[in-house]
Amino acid sequence: MYGYCKECSRAKGEKKEMRRIIIIGYMGAGKTTVGKALSKQLNMPFYDLDWYIESRMRKTVKEIFDERGEEGFRIIEHNLLHEVAEFEDVIISCGGGVPCFYDNMEYMNQQGETVYLKATPEVLYGHLKMGKSVRPLLENKTQEEVKDFINEQLKIREPYYNKAKYILDVNLMDDYDKIRIFVTKLRDLLAL
Ligand code: S3P
């Protein structure tokens, strides 16, 4: 041993451990917001899989849904997940459906430290109502229908989400000031 990294006390020349953090959870859980904030704090590049899909395909997620249907979107999503989840030392946030198709959840667990941002259907509904973007799966639905849809879909999706290596309850992350607190909790959880 001939020296130390001052920041991490690793021996100089010793290979740095690669970290790849993958954030999952239902629409409206705050995956992109938390991912971005964590990336800023840790100075690690951030990839949002939906944005990555849009830039690679030169189309919005909505356009892909409209042109190819959900099935076509899921194939693209699966293929491009395999691109981003090969990048090293990155933070990735994934669309809410990713863990529930193909072997995506097993693959993500193999590739990195998966974190499920867990919230109740009521909290998710509240966030989605406040948010600006309309998700293709929620389009043309009344508020009541959206509520029922979230309830039903969460029951189906939770068993997949629960396979994540870490679970962070984000029910109390109800305004921007609280994001820092939750990012700190996440860093504790991941020992980062
Ligand atoms: C989806 C979630 C969306 C997007 C697409 C489908 C889903 O991403 O991938 O509209 O099936 O839950 P967000 O979870 O980032 O909204």
Beta bridge partners of 23: 93, 115
Chain mean pLDDT for the chain: 93
What predicted TM-score, i.e. pTM, was given to this entire model?
0.93
Whether 135 is in the pocket of ligand 1, judged by its Cβ within 6 Å, is: yes
d(CA 33, CA 28): 10
Beta bridge partners of 114: 22
Residue type at 111 in one-letter notation: Q
| C-beta of residue 89 within 8 angstroms of C-beta of residue 44 | yes
Using DSSP, state whether 1 is helix, strand or coil. Answer: coil
Give residue 183's pLDDT band: very low, low, confident or very high (50, 70, 90): very high
46-48 β-sheet, strand order: 46-48, 90-93, 20-24, 113-118, 166-169
Give residue 5's pLDDT band: very low, low, confident or very high (50, 70, 90): very low
Q: What is the pLDDT of residue 8?
A: 55
Q: What is the pLDDT of residue 153?
A: 97
The 10s digit of each residue's pLDDT in 102-116 is 999 999 999 999 999
Is it the case that residue 4 has pLDDT exceeding 60?
A: no
Structure-token pair, residue 118: 């867990």
Residue 24, judged by CB atoms within 10 A of its CB (0-12, 13-18, 19+), counts as buried
The 10s digit of each residue's pLDDT in 144-168 is 999 999 999 999 999 999 999 999 9
The Å distance, Cα 27 to ligand 1 centre, comes to 6
Over residues 161-190, the mean pLDDT reads 94
d(CA 107, CA 129): 32
Atom of ligand 1 minimally distant from the CA of 48: 15
Give the N- to C-terminal CA distance of the chain in Å, as an integer: 24
The 10s digit of each residue's pLDDT in 34-93 is 999 999 999 999 999 999 999 999 999 999 999 999 999 999 999 999 999 999 999 999
Is it the case that residue 1 has pLDDT exceeding 50?
A: no
Is it the case that residue 10 has pLDDT exceeding 80?
A: no
Closest-CA residue, ligand 1 atom 11, reads 97
Whether 121 is in the pocket of ligand 1, judged by its Cβ within 6 Å, is: no
